[in-house]
Amino acid sequence: MISNRESARRSRMRKQQHLDELLNQVAQLQQDNSGILQRINATAEVYVNVESENSILRAQMTELSDRLQSLNSVLHIIEEVSGFSMDIPEIPDPLLKPWQLPCPSLPITASSSMFQF
């Protein structure tokens, strides 16, 4: 009879210990979830800021492109009316060809006196 009571007591203790471990695990997981949620919110806020900045930059790019096109058309009209040829080089649009440099690259020449033997 004493051994049954002792066995039941040990069983209750194991169950209580297991329950305590599970409660600790729940608390830890809730804390982890809270940290993850904070990081998600911070990342979302940064994303919204970057997206709004991109929208502003796109609008500025569109406005500047329109102004450039307008100025080029004014120059062409002046050229036609005056008969004066205005040699204005076409400004490359780096957005159309992003891997092409906007300025022509110049070859680098080396003289033989550069190398000392």
pLDDT digits (tens, 9 = 90+) for 14-55: 999 999 999 999 999 999 999 999 999 999 999 999 999 999
Please indicate, yes or no, whether the overall pTM of this predicted structure exceeds 0.75.
no
pLDDT digits (tens, 9 = 90+) for 57-111: 999 999 999 999 999 888 888 888 888 776 666 666 666 565 655 555 555 555 5
- 53 contact partners, CB below 8 Å, separation of at least 6: none
Are the CB atoms for 58 and 52 separated by under 8 Å? Answer: no
**Residue spans per domain, the chain:** 2-89
**Alpha carbon distance, N-terminus to C-terminus of the chain:** 103
- 86 contact partners, CB below 8 Å, separation of at least 6: 75, 78, 79
